[in-house]
Structure formats: structure tokens, C-alpha cells
A and B are shown apart, each in its own frame.
Chain A
Amino acid sequence: MGIVILLLMLAGVGLMLTRKLPTAFTLVLLAVAIAAVVGAPFTGENSIIDTVLQEGAVAQAATMLAVLIGSWMGKLMAETGIASTLVRKIVEFGGDRPTVVALGVLLVSALVGTVTGSAPAAMMAGIIGIPAMIAVGVPKTTAAGTILMGIAAGMPFELPIWQFFSTTLNLPVDTVRGFMLKLFPFAVVFAVLFVLIETRRKGVEHTWSLAAPGERSAADRRRNRARQLGDAPWYALLAPLVPLVLALGFELAIIPSMLAGVLYALVTTTRPREMSKRLLRTLYGAFDIAAPPIALFVAIGILLAAVTLPGAVEALNPLVTAISPGHPVIFVVVFALLTPLCLYRGPLNVFGLGAGIAGVLISAGIYPAVAVLGLTASYNQVFGVADPTSTQTVWAAQYSGISPQQVMVRTLPYVWCVALGGLIVTAATQL
């Protein structure tokens, strides 16, 4: 029976890899198939209808809301000029030294990413940051990689991700925060190393181009027009720090912390008469941006509900026990080698089938939940940057005029090291 479930998962991976079916739909189909195979009843306790579809669909509600508020905050920061001012100031101060400008853009992406999540952060930091880096001579692949490595450096503090791990692994937010604090140094060190090593290794590049630097798609030009608002005041630039300080420093709950950030960004930039209008407009706009991740989180909740059905756990337990390394050293080696399986929507992608696998590992009692947190959070650092199918990677690559695969090749060695660091910490402290 366990084998049948694995085969179903494999078929699911095939559907996602070949892009026959969007990830979210594949996960839901997979969940229903697994529930049916393990003989879950149609309705009632541990059933397909009531447990998998009904309870599963809303299981990640807190994550979805965190994602939505993050997008809201992103919309607000874009509309009020906070994001563009941040990047512009960095470029003006960083001046003509490519490494300094890149380090500055790295910092801004990290900061913006903590509140808005990866995809919006890539655009907000990248729309100005990427052409600005290229203008001072940073080669294109390094420029795109810098944005993504910056986001990855901030990723341990991405509040919606805390909520996701807390819900998925059934761990208190405190525990998630604790591990992320240990993962953070690895993420920062390798992000900075990326900039220092790559700018040195690849040097500078100046082109006499026939395309104007800002001449991109029509959509980008529209975004540029929307941005012609002048500078946001300096104290408004602290907006991305507000949720972070509240959630990390004062250990406040995630959603209120993020709402405080939204309010701060609003009051520091907007005249009182326009506040409610702008707040509502940016909130509605945020639904558009947050739609893909929210759809995914509905599906992940459903998949998790299916793989944690008693029948599924029973079927998978012997299999997973047999193949999961117990010894800490083997744990590190095996899972470090498996890292590429989280790329290209692979089976270890935490925002996909990987969430289901994490659920199995915990419910089968193979690893403590904290160890699974370490495993999945480490993988998250990899595919958030290097996966050529993730939104932020595709966007940053295309906007820089290169292919997502080029970004993957350039960044993978660095993020692989971050994952290795996370795995070692996990094995040393939790196994």
C-alpha cells in the first residue's frame, strides 16, 4: 500500500514537472487519490469529504492571511514610494562601486522580503535595483542573483513562512523562531559571500547598448509611472522593520505584527483624508499578488490532511522508517545530497509535495517535529533562490535579460552550503 502511495506521488511529480497540471491542482488530486487508496470513508471521521477536503482546505488559513497581509504591505510600500526610495538611496550612497551597490541592494531585498514574501520583494527591490546594478557594471547574472540571495538572507525572518511551518509541523511559533535564528547566520554569510566572490570573480561589465536601460515591457513602464511620486520621508523607510521588531523583538503574534507594519507604512506616507481609500485600494490589489500562494496553501492543507490520515500513516510508516537515516552524520549527508530534489517542483519542495513528505515524517514519528522543521527550512533556503520555476527566480532572471537556469547554476553552490549548515545544526541539536 505504501508503494502505491509513493507511485501516486511520483505521478504527481511527473504532472508538475511536465507542467501538465498546475501544482495546486496536482496536490489536490493527489490528496484525494491517496485518501481513496488508503480506504478513507467518503464522509465522517477521517474521511475524504470532511477531513481531507473540508478541514484540509482551511488548515493553512493563518498562513494565507499572513501572505495576504504581506502582499498588502508590499502594495503599500510600492504605491507610497517606500520601496523605490530605499533602493534609490542605496544606489546614491553606494555610488559607483559595484560591490557596495550590490551589498546595499542585497540588504534592501532581505529587508523587504521579510514582510512581503519572496516574489513581491524580488520585484520591488529588482525593478530599480537590477538596472542600477547593471549601470554601475555588475554583470547581469550577478545582479539577478544578488536580489535572490538577498531575499534568501531575509527568509529566516519571513513572517508568513514562520506561520506556515508552525501550522504545517504543528509547532509553536516560538520554536520556529528559535530555529530560524540559528539558520539566519548561514543565510547572511553566504549571501554576502555570493556578492563578494561573484563581483570579484566576474569583474565588471559595461555595454554600449541600443536599448534604453529602463526600456522594458509595457507593464514595467506602467509600474514606473505609478512610481513617479518622489521620495518617501526617511522615517517611512523603517516600515519593513516594524513587523520584524514586533514579532522578533517583542514576540508578538504574526498577523498583528504585520498589520502594525501596514499601519506604519500608511501613517508615515499618507494624508489623513486619503488613508482609508488607499488602504482599501492596496488591500484589494494585494489579493491579485497573493492569489497564487494562497491557492497553493489551500492545496497543501488538503494534501497534508490526506497523508496524515491514519490509513496513510500506517501504510507509509514502514517504508519511510526503512529509508530514513537515523544517525546524525548520515542524516546530514543523505539530505544534503538530496537537496536538488527540491528544485523544479521536485518531491522535496516544501511548498508542494515536500509538505506532504514532512507531514509523513512527523506523523510516522521518525524524526521529532523540530528536526523536520530544520530539514524543510534548510531546503526552503535553496529553492527560494535557485529553483528555475519559482516566481521570483523567473522574474529576476528575465528582468535582467538572462535565463532562470543561469541564475540556478550561479546561486546553487551558495544556497546548497546554507542548506548544509541548516542540516548540520538540525542534526547536532535535534537528533
Chain B
Amino acid sequence: MTRTVTAALGRLGRVRRDALRAECAPLAELDDVELGARLLADTPTHEHRDPALLRHWAETATGFGTRLRSRCAAAEPRVVERPGGIDRLLLARYVSRPTPTVELFTDTLALGEELVDLLGWRDWYAEGALRATALAHEDAHRLLHGDAALRRALRERLGHTALRVGRFRITGHVAGSEELAAHGYAAARTGLGRSPLLLTAALASAIRALVRN
């Protein structure tokens, strides 16, 4: 498997590989909160929001995920490994029906591992950590999906007011916050040095480079 992927990034010429490194370097300069804020900014419903508010939300939601405890869930999901993630721009997927299943896209994971080497990011993302991160990420979705109180806690923490009439106040849902919580949870569980969002962004660049090739 690793061999085919070496072939994947190896297919890029030296010039293109340098270009990819140059494209990813500025990403690494961004702090993790900014990466989270960018994810929110790209999520519909946040088009016009103040960047400072988005940063605040990104930090809060990620932090919520970091402190999230894994509970003894009723049943562990089935894990399926399959190729075909690069074509669909997917790294992992959780479906709750018919049976709760986590799909891991092996080609994307392998490309991620190789990309970490290419970019010299091993200090942040240990060998094999990406797979564990993906499992933990989807695990967080499963935790949140099955626990309304947990979701309410996240909403309260973010404190976005959707409606206020006098003292009466309804906290609104912040689209994208669960995704950030899942990344925060996964990063903490697997001990990553940087947010999984950094590697996600770099992977998107790498796939664009492969397509251009």
C-alpha cells in the first residue's frame, strides 16, 4: 500500500513537489484557531460574521472537543477500510444506518502519511497517527450524535443567541461547531502536535497538485 502511494506523490516532478511544499508552508504558519475559523467561514450561515467571533467560536468548539471524555458507548461501530477516498475528497465517513459504520479511506490516509514526510511534519503527526485520528474523529461524531445533553452543552458553551426577548433567550446552533469539536477531540486523543485541519488543508493542496499533474 505504502508503495503505491509513494508512487502517488512520487509521480510529481521535482518542480511540482517544491511547489506543493511552497503552497503548504504558509498553511503551517497559520495558528490552529485560524484554521478552525476558516472552516467556519466556509460553512454556510456564517458568510457575514465577524472574523473575531468566528475565531472565538473555533477556539471554544475545539476546546470543548479536547475535553470531551470517551464514554462507554453501547456498541463499537464497524470499521471498514476501502479505497476511493481521493476521488471523492474524503478521508473518513461515519454512517449511522443500517449499522453504525466508520469508513476509512485507505488511499487518502496513505497519501496523508506520505505528505507528512514530504513536508517534514513528523513532529506534529506521528507515523500512523492519521488513521487513529480519523477513527477518533468519527467517534466524536458518534458521541455527539447519541447525546442531546452533550450537544446542548456545546451550544451553551458557544453562547450564540438566536433570539432574545427580554430575559428570555434561545441559544442558536453554530453550524460547523460539531466538526471542530470532533477535530479537537481527535487531536487530543491521538496526541497530535497540530490541528488535523492543517493536514486536511495540505491534503487538499496535494490532491490538487496530483490532478494538475
Q: Which of the four size classes fits the interface of chain B? A: 35 or more
Is the Cβ of A212 less than 8 Å from the Cβ of B42? yes
Q: How far is the CA of A230 from the CA of B170 in the complex (A)?
A: 20
Q: Which residues of A contact B154 (CB under 8 A)?
A: 96
Binding stretch for chain A, among B10-18, B23-31, B92-100, B121-129: B92-100
Q: How far is the CA of A87 from the CA of B155 in the complex (A)?
A: 19
Does B166 interact with chain A (Cβ within 8 Å)?
no
Is the Cβ of B172 less than 8 Å from the Cβ of A92? yes
Is the Cβ of A202 less than 8 Å from the Cβ of B97? yes
Binding stretch for chain A, among B1-9, B44-52, B66-74: B44-52
Interface size on A, residues (CB 8 A): 38
Q: How far is the CA of A205 from the CA of B179 in the complex (A)?
A: 12
A58 → chain B closest CB, angstroms = 42
Whether A214 contacts B173 in the complex (CB less than 8 A), given A96-B151, A205-B95, A208-B90, comes out as no
Is the Cβ of B96 less than 8 Å from the Cβ of A205? yes
Does A271 interact with chain B (Cβ within 8 Å)?
no
Contact of A209 among B89, B96, B141 (CB under 8 A): B89
Q: Which residues of B contact A212 (CB under 8 A)?
A: 38-39, 42
Q: Which single residue of chain B is at the shortest CB-CB distance from A206?
A: B141
Is the Cβ of B48 less than 8 Å from the Cβ of A228? yes
Q: Which residues of A contact B95 (CB under 8 A)?
A: 139, 203-205
Does A207 interact with chain B (Cβ within 8 Å)?
yes
Is the Cβ of A93 less than 8 Å from the Cβ of B172? yes
Contact of A92 among B91, B97, B173 (CB under 8 A): B173
Is the Cβ of B47 less than 8 Å from the Cβ of A93? no
Whether A91 contacts B45 in the complex (CB less than 8 A), given A212-B39, A213-B176, comes out as yes
B19 → chain A closest CB, angstroms = 19
| Chain B residues near A (Cβ < 8 Å) | 38-39, 41-45, 47-48, 89-98, 108, 134, 137-138, 141, 144-145, 151, 154-155, 160, 162-163, 170, 172-173, 175-176, 178-179, 182, 196, 200, 203-204, 207
| Chain A residues near B (Cβ < 8 Å) | 84, 87-89, 91-96, 127-128, 131-132, 135-137, 139, 201-215, 224, 227-230
